[in-house]
A and B are shown apart, each in its own frame.
Chain A
Amino acid sequence: MKKLFRIMLLAGLVSLSACSSIEPWVKPYERANLSDPAMRFDRNPVSDAYIKHVHEAREGARGASGSSGGGCGCN
C-alpha cells in the first residue's frame, strides 16, 4: 500500500512537471486586469491582519485565513 502511494505520488509529480510546459491560456499581455490593485488578495496587509485577529478572538474556528499568532485579549 505504502509502495503504491509512493508510485502514485511520483507519477503525480512527473505529470505536474510535464504539465508545466503547457502554454499559458492567459497570455502575459492579457494580464493587465489581473494586476489591478483591486484584484489583490492582500491589498491592505495591516488592516487584514487586524480584522482576522478580531475574528479569531470571537470565533471558535481558526486557520486558512493567513492570520498571525499571539494572544487574544478575549476575556
Chain B
Amino acid sequence: MITPKPAHLQPRYDVVVVGGGPAGLAAAVGARESGAERVLVIDREPEAGGILQQCIHPGFGLHHFGEELTGPEYAQRAIEQTLEQDVDVLSSAYVLDVAGDRRLKVTSRDHGVAFLDAGAVVLAMGARERTRGAIRIPGERPAGVMTAGFAQKLVNLGGMLPGRRAVILGSGDIGLIMARRLVLEGVEVEGVYELMPHANGLNRNLVQCLHDYDIPLHLSTTVVHIDGRERVEKVTVAPVDEAYRPNMAQARDIPCDTLLVSIGLIPDNELAHRLGLRLDPVTTGPVVTSTMETTRDGVFACGNVVHIHDLVDYVSQESLLAGRGAGAYAIGTPTPPDNVRLTPGENVRYCVPPTITTDREHTVYMRVTKPMAPCTLRLGDVYNRPLRYVFPGEMVTLKVRPRFLEGFHGGSLPVSIVPREEGGSA
C-alpha cells in the first residue's frame, strides 16, 4: 500500500529510521511508544514493506500476529500499524550519509537532497544477497546469472520471467521457494545444487517446493563453471569431497539459460561503516547493547542489519525494542547500562544482544554451529534449559528473566549448548 507522502520535510526529527521494511516499520512504532513525537521512516522503494512485498508465499506472522500470513499481508499490517502511530514515511528516498552528530544527508524523488537532524537514528536497512562474485564461480560473465531474491522480485513484482530453463545453486529457503515459483510460472527447473552435505532450507520447503514438483536436490555438489557469451548457455556441476574440493572427473554439463544463486545474506552495512560503528566479526553487523544501541551514542540498529534472522516475526520484536530505545534516547529518558556480558561457549556462534542487564527481562537470540539433539542450553551455572534439538538454520531464542540472575551481580556469563543423554536430567 502507498503511504501518504509527507508534504514537507522537517529540519529535525526525534527519531529517523533508515529502511522501511519490517524492521524499520516496527522500530518507528517502538519510538512512538516510548514518547518520541516526530518520527520519520526513510525507504528507497516506492512503497514500504521491504522484501516482504516480493515474498508472496505464506509462513509469516505466526508469532507476531498469531496467524499465518503471506509476506504482502504481513507488510500491509506492519505499514498500517506504523501509520496509526502518526509516523511519516518518505518513500523513493535514500540516505547518502549519516554524520556522527546524527545529521543525515538524504536524497528523494520528492524533495531532492536535504539534510535532517535526528535525536536518534535507527539503522534498519536489512541485508543483501551474496552474489556469484562472493563464491567466485569461474567462467564467462553472460546475462542470466542472478540471485534468487532478485529473480523473486522480477517474477512476483515485475511480472517477468528470468529465463526458460534454470539451475539453482544453494538450498536455502529463498532458493527452494524460487524453485517452486519458477515451475508454477512455466520455467523448467533442472535441479537444486548444494555444496554442503545437508539441505539448508526448512523441511516444509523441501517437501512443498521440491518433492511436490519432483525437483531433484543434489547435495555435496556445486557449480564449477558458467558458459555463454551473451546469455548463459550451460553450467558445469561437480560433486565435492569432504574439504569441498570439486571432483572434476565427475563433472557434467547442464544446458540452461539461467543460474539462480541462493547462497546467503550479509548485513547491509554501508552506513555502519560510514559511522565507524564497531562490527561483530561473526554476525558482520554492528555490536549492540540490550536496547539495540550501537557503539555510537544515539545510533540504534535492528533486523537483518544486525544479524540474519530466519523469521520476520523476530525481526519485528527486536525492532520494537530498538525503536523504544531510540525514542527513549531522543527524549532523554535514561537507560541503565548493561552489566552482564554473554560470552558464546560450546556450540554457540553468537548472542544478540551480547550484553544485558539483571534488572529486567531480555530476549536473547543465538545461533549454533552444529546440529545437536537432545541438548541443554546453559547460562553459566545460573540457569539450564533442556532443548529437544538445535540446528544451525534455526535461531535459538531465550527469554532471560531477572530471577535467573538472582545472586549474579554482573560480569561475564558463558552461554553454551551441550549434548544431553536421553532420559538424563537437564
Q: Is this pair of chains taken from one and the same complex?
A: no
Chain B positions within 8 Å of A, measured between CB atoms, are none
Chain A positions within 8 Å of B, measured between CB atoms, are none
